[in-house]
Chain A
Amino acid sequence: MIVVDGLVKRFGRKGEVAAVDGTSFVARDGAITGLLGPNGAGKTTLLRMLATLILPDRGSAQVDGLDIVRDRYRVRERIGVLSDARGLYARLTARENVRYYGRLHGLSGTKLEARIDELIATLNLDELADRRTQGFSQGERMKVAIARALVHDPAALLLDEPTNGLDIMSTRGLRELLRSLRAAGKCIVFSTHVMQEVSALCDTIVILGRGRVVASGDSAQLLAWSGKPTLEDAFVGLLGSGEGLAA
Chain B
Amino acid sequence: MHRIFVITFKELVDALRDRRTMMVTLLTSIAAGPLFLTLILNMAANQAERARELKLAVDGAQYAPALIAFLERAQIAVQAAPADYEARIRAGELDVALVINADFAGDVAAGRAATVKLVYDRSRDRARASIDAAEGALRAYNRQWGTQRLLLRGIVPQVALPMEIEGIDLATPQQSGALILFLIAYYGLFASLMGGMALALDATAGERERASLEPLLATPASTLEIATGKWFAIACFDAAVVSLTLAGFYLTLNFAPLPAVGVPFLFGTTEFLRFLLVLAPLVALLPAALLYMGARGRTLKEAQANVSLLLFIVSMMPVVQLFLQKREPPWLLWVPISAQYTLLSRALRGDAIAPLDWLQSAIVPLALAALALVATGRVLRRESALGLR
Interface residues, chain A, with chain B CB atoms under 8 Å away? 11-12, 48, 51-55, 73, 76-77, 79, 81-92, 96, 100-101, 103-106, 132, 145, 148-149
Contacts and interface: CB of A to CB of B under 8 A. Distances in A.
Q: How large is the interface on B (under 10, 10 to 19, 20 to 34, 35 or more residues)?
A: 20 to 34
Interface of B: 2-3, 6-7, 10, 13-14, 17-18, 207, 210-222, 383, 386-389
Contacts of A82: 215
12 contacts: A48-B386, A53-B217, A53-B218, A53-B386, A83-B218, A85-B211, A85-B214, A91-B17, A92-B10, A101-B215, A104-B216, A106-B3
A86 B383 contact: no
Most central of B2, B17, B213 by chain A CB within 10 Å: B17
A103 B386 contact: no
Given A83-B215, A85-B212, A132-B17, 14 more contacts: A11-B388, A52-B218, A77-B220, A85-B211, A87-B207, A87-B211, A92-B14, A96-B10, A100-B6, A104-B219, A105-B219, A106-B3, A145-B215, A149-B215
B220 A90 contact: no
B389 A104 contact: no
A91 B10 CA distance: 10
Given A54-B386, A73-B220, A87-B210, A100 B215 contact: no
B340 to A, nearest CB: 33
Contacts of A92: 10, 13-14, 17
Nearest to B209: A87
Contacts of B387: 85
A53 B14 contact: no
Nearest to B225: A104
Contact of B389 (A12, A77, A83): A12
A125 to B, nearest CB: 17
A76 B219 contact: yes
Nearest to A134: B17
Contacts of B213: 85, 87
Most central of B13, B213, B214, B383 by chain A CB within 10 Å: B214
Nearest to B215: A83
B378 to A, nearest CB: 14
Contacts of B389: 11-12
Contacts of A100: 6, 10
A16 to B, nearest CB: 12
A104 B212 contact: no
A76 B217 CA distance: 10
Given A91-B14, A103-B6, A85 B220 contact: no
Contact of B215 (A52, A81, A91, A96): A81
Contacts of A48: 386
A83 to B, nearest CB: 5
A53 B17 CA distance: 30
A113 to B, nearest CB: 15
Contact of A88 (B7, B212, B218): B212
A89 B6 contact: no
Nearest to A9: B383
